[in-house]
Structure 1
Amino acid sequence: MTFQKRAYKILELLEKFGEVEIRQLAAEINVSEVTVRRDLTAMAANGLLYRTHGGAMKISEVIKPVSFVNKAGVNIKAKDAICKRAAADIIDGDVIFIDCGSTAFRLCQFIKNKKIKVITNSLPVVNELLDSAVTINLIGGEVDATRQAVHGTTAYEHIARYRASKAFLGVDGITVEGLYAGSEHEASNTLAMALQSDCVYILCDARKVGKTSYLKFNDLSLVNILVTDYNNPDVTEFETKGISVLSVTV
């Protein structure tokens, strides 16, 4: 089968499923996984798809906004294990940033009794922490109803006024080459919070490790600690970049 025919079949499968794995493609097309990897790399270079750690994703699936509600309901057990571990590093007196990611939101249940200050652009985080021991600082700006978050120039200016001991942030993808986001707004907020923090935690479930997305917004120098349920041996690649990896078991 020629490359053109394989590419057509790959795009057909992406149209059907949105995201596919290398093993699945190799079985469907009846070629080796090595051939599939080579095809995906070539197709990604031509802008036909996005490469992920274990396969590929349809471009429209990456670019279109995903509602907070939809994201929050995915992979809850992993997110809870990640956030429980991250919360163990938060002590009374801390000032922390929490962004609008669905993983970072799961941190709330583990910090309600801590005497800390939380600075956030996430409306669900604010709602979850009301009537708790936590003091809340809601970032101002324009409200994105789909993401249930505050964005915009005013939000970035607000963030720049504060300094935090720790930031707990999410990304749409992380590779040894850098950090990826699904939109410029989310990337800008994440970057602004990280730059105003003494220690930056990335909370990231296994689906996002090795995955690229719409926008690469920074290299790994931004990150101090990665908390993840991704337990493959190549996670040590992040440690060679100076990142401490805290692995959790789901």
Structure 2
Amino acid sequence: MLTEEREEYILNELRMSRTVKLHQLMQKLDVSESTIRRDLSQLEERGLLTRIHGGAKLNYHIDKEPTFDEKNTINNSAKLSIGQKASQMVNKGDVIYIDAGTTTAKIIPYLENKPSTVVTNGLLQAYELSQNGYQTILLGGKIKNTTQSIVGISAQTQLSQYVFDKAFIGINGIHSDFGLTTADEEEAAIKSLVINRAGRTYIMTDSSKFNKVSFCKVCNLDEVTIITNKLEEYVSDDFIESTTILEVK
């Protein structure tokens, strides 16, 4: 087996199991200990794993949050499909919450006048909802410029007065160990509060957010249902026991 093939095997095992054992790799790949150690060293030098006693563990890093404009140009077709799928979760007369973000905004064109009331902390969402005639409540508070969202104590206080049938939330990172994370503690506080006030919460995210970690934890995987585009098999295996994933085919 070529070096590149062994390295790809090792990385796939790490994606599925988070850690690998030296002796197991030797048996599976039918190579010597020195060969596996050399492979692990090369992968570590490239920042893809960290060697530990008797094996290695998968690396992760805390992602930097892109700007609103950058987000708005990424994976747009996938986001539209996710928005259409998410809209199917809304029933006539529902009171729903739509989080700020470029993915969550994609649910609005498909709502078909089903919700009776929509609450949001997104400036873009509030504008589009009001333009389409929805009964819309925009939270009051501080504007976070990079995400065009309302955050802060005033928004949290207002949120604590509401209860939602369903909530649709955006997220920065989804990880099997660290749960759902976002880049800003004030946004994390808003998202966490909404999840606690909703009968059911749907995370709307494209598959690029899986196996990523941001600064602030929002919730555990088992608290939400995730709507996303088609996942690689090794990714879905990591999460299938912890949460419900609805994939847009």
- Scaled by the length of structure 1, the TM-score of the pair is 0.73
- Which residue in 1 is equivalent to 2:109? 109
Q: Deviations over 1:37-96 (max 9, x none)?
A: 6844439xxxxxx955xxxx6x6xx34x53322212211001011111110111110111
Trace 1:98-137 onto structure 2 (pairs within 5 A): 98-137=98-137
Task: Map Cα deviations across residues 195-238 of structure 1 (whole Å, 9 max, x no partner).
Answer: 10000101110110111122233321321x11111422231432
Alignment of 1:5-84 (within 5 A): 32=39, 35-36=42-43, 39-42=47-50, 51-52=59-60, 62-63=63-64, 66-84=66-84
The residue type paired with residue 91 of structure 2 is I
Q: Superposition RMSD on alpha carbons, in Å?
A: 2.4
Q: Which amino acid aligns with 1:183?
A: D
Q: Distance in 1 between matches of 2:185 and 2:72?
A: 20
Larger Rg computed on CA atoms: 2
Sequence identity percentage: 28
Aligned-residue offset at 1:121: 0.4
- Does the CA-based 8 Å contact 1:86-1:227 persist in structure 2? yes
Q: Cα deviation per residue 1:3-33 (whole Å; 9 max; x = unaligned)?
A: xxxxxxxxxxxxxxxxxxxxxxxxxxxx858
* 2:90–2:115 contact (8 Å) kept in structure 1: no
Q: Structure 2 matches for 1:162-173, cutoff 5 A?
A: 162-173=162-173
- CA change 1:140–1:123 in 2 (3 A) is same
Q: 8 Å contact 2:96–2:164 — kept in the other structure?
A: yes
Give the match for residue 185 of structure 2: 184
Q: How does 1:140-151 map to 2 (within 5 A)?
A: 140-151=140-151
- 2:160 partner letter: A
Q: Secondary structure at the match of 1:156?
A: helix
Q: What is the total number of aligned residue pairs between the two structures?
A: 203
Report the counterpart of residue 152 of structure 1 in structure 2.
Answer: 152
Tell me what 2:206 maps to: 205
Q: Is the 8 A contact 1:112 1:132 kept in 2?
A: no
1:141-160: CA deviation from partner (whole Å, max 9, x where unpaired): 11223321111001111111
SS of the residue corresponding to residue 42 of structure 1 reads: strand
Q: CA deviation at 1:113?
A: 3.0
Task: Provide the C-alpha distance between the structure 2 equivalents of 1:185 and 1:105, rounded to a whole number of angstroms.
Answer: 20
- Work out the CA distance in 2 between the residues paired with 1:95 and 1:210: 32
TM-score, structure 2 normalization: 0.74
Gaps of 5+ in 2: 1-37, 52-57
Q: 1:145 to 1:200 in 2, by over 3 A?
A: same
Note the C-alpha offset of 1:109. 1.4
Mean CA deviation greater in 152-161 or 210-219: 210-219
Change in CA separation of 1:34 and 1:90 when aligned onto 2, cut-off 3 Å? farther
Gaps of 5+ in 1: 1-30, 44-49
Q: Distance in 2 between matches of 1:230 and 1:51?
A: 23
